[in-house]
């Protein structure tokens, strides 16, 4: 299974920085939106955790050729040897920040008056 980016992407680049196969691009669409090239996607879900707005979903329409999937997994294993610890560290920070933002979004929905002045009220 490969993943895809649906509408609502804010182009933050988080997913691209943690993808172990470098299969997320942002320069090859007319509006410079991030997209996942499914050929290199191994469904590791790291990008899902990194995304602050939850716009990465399974792409059930894409079926991997076994050889291309094997090649992508091989590449991921190679990249992980070099960048795995860095990706894990970056992802930890992203997860914490995303969780905080999610709580703030909920807070805004539940108590919009607290945010009316642009400053959170006590």
Binding site for ligand SF4 (CB under 6 A): 3, 5, 9-15, 18-19, 21, 23-24, 34, 36, 41-47, 50-51, 53, 55-56
Residue nearer to ligand SF4 on the CB measure, 83 or 122: 83
Q: In this structure, what DSSP letter does residue 69 have?
A: H
Residue nearer to ligand SF4 on the CB measure, 57 or 107: 57
Residue nearer to ligand SF4 on the CB measure, 10 or 102: 10
Q: Which residue do the tokens 């990465």 mark?
A: 56
State the alpha helices, DSSP H only, in 19-65. Answer: 46-50
Shortest CB 23 distance to ligand SF4, Å: 5
Shortest CB 107 distance to ligand SF4, Å: 21
Q: Are 17 and 51 in contact (CB under 8 A)?
A: no
Measured between alpha carbons, how far is 99 from 83 in angstroms, rounded to an integer?
24
Residue nearer to ligand SF4 on the CB measure, 30 or 118: 30
Q: What angle do CA 17, 53, 116 make, to 5 degrees?
A: 130
């Amino acid at each position: 299974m490969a993943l895809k980016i649906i509408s609502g992407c804010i182009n933050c680049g988080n997913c691209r920085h943690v993808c172990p196969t470098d299969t997320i691009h942002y320069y090859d669409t007319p509006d410079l939106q991030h997209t996942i090239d499914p050929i290199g996607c191994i469904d590791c879900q790291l990008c899902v955790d990194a995304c602050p707005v939850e716009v990465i979903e399974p792409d059930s329409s894409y079926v991997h050729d076994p050889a291309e999937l094997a090649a992508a997994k091989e590449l991921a294993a190679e990249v992980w040897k070099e960048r795995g610890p860095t990706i894990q560290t970056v992802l930890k920070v992203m997860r914490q920040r995303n969780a905080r933002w999610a709580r703030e979004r909920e807070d805004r929905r539940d108590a919009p008056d607290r945010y009316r002045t642009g400053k959170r009220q006590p």
